[in-house]
Structures are given as C-alpha cells and as structure tokens.
Amino acid sequence: MPLTLFDTNVVVSGVLAGSGTSSTRSILDAMLAGTVRFVLSEALLTEYRRVLLRPSIRDRHQLTESDVDAILEELVINASLREPPASGGPPWAKEGESLPGSVGPVAPGDEHVLALLTTLPETVLVTGDRRLREAVAPWCEALTPAEFAASLPGSSP
C-alpha cells in the first residue's frame, strides 16, 4: 500500500462518524490500527486538532479535549512524520520550480498539504475536497475517501 496523506476533512469525518461504517470511519480505524501507511507533518496534525476542537465540531462528536488528544497521539504513533522544506519547493524540483505541473485554485490553508505532497512525490492524497483533488491531479494521485476505503483489507467490493 502506498504512503498516503489524509486531508483534515477525512479525519474529522471519521471522528464524526462515531462507530459507524462510513468510508471515513474505516480509514480512521485503519490509521489508528496502523494498517495503512500515512504521512503527517506538524502543520497537518495542528490542523486536525484545531478543526476537531472547533465548538461546532465538538458539539457533534462530544469528545473532550483529552479524548481528541488521545486520538491524535495514536495517529502520531502510527504515522511517518515529515516536514516540507522551508524553501517551499520540493527537493527534486529544478531551481525556480515550486510545484510540478500547474496547480489550480486551492482553498487557503491547503498550502501545507501541497508542500508536504511535493516532498514525497509518490504519496497518494485522500480528500473529500474535489477542488483539491483536481488541483493536484496533474502530478499526484488523489482519491476520494470511498475510493481509498475500497482498497482497505476486508472492504466489500
């Protein structure tokens, strides 16, 4: 299984699904069990935490701050930790080139996802954000949570 970067919307949706059987819950369970290879950076982990602790999100998942931190600690244990270079460009890019191919419009705040993907060119992005998937499609494999979950061991065809 390739190294994967799970966008914040996947992790948050997995937490909100509770003990359900959604694709995002299956992905979160696999991340927590260490059965998928995934990458995290400090910025991505901070974003996971910030979004999970938003009052509107907390009202839905009903977890305490300690509960959220326990989930995130488990993710860190199972993740490959990487940081994008400070220069903003991938280490394999030619001088002056910031991203491979063209990148379409992405939401503010997704820059760290792009930077992390460019440091690990074989990484697969899993996101529910159609615009982000389309933006990276010329140079990075990008899947929906349902597409990725279908590849998990024990998933139904």
pLDDT of residue 15: 97
CB 125 within 8 A of CB 142: yes
Gap between the Cα atoms of 30 and 149, Å rounded = 9
Domain ranges of the chain: 4-149
Gap between the Cα atoms of 121 and 149, Å rounded = 21
pLDDT of residue 94: 40
pLDDT of residue 118: 86
pLDDT of residue 100: 46
Residues of the chain under the 70 pLDDT cut:
86-107, 156-157
> How would you list the strands of the sheet with 124-126, edge to edge?
4-6, 124-126, 142-143
Those residues whose C-beta lies under 8 Å from the C-beta of residue 32, and which sit 6 or more positions away, are 71, 74, 75, 78
Q: Is it true that domain 4-149 has CATH number 3.40.640.10?
A: no
CB atoms under 10 Å from CB of 114, counted, come to: 20
Q: Which two tokens mark 132?
A: 């982000």
pTM for the structure as a whole: 0.87
pLDDT of residue 111: 85
pLDDT of residue 119: 87
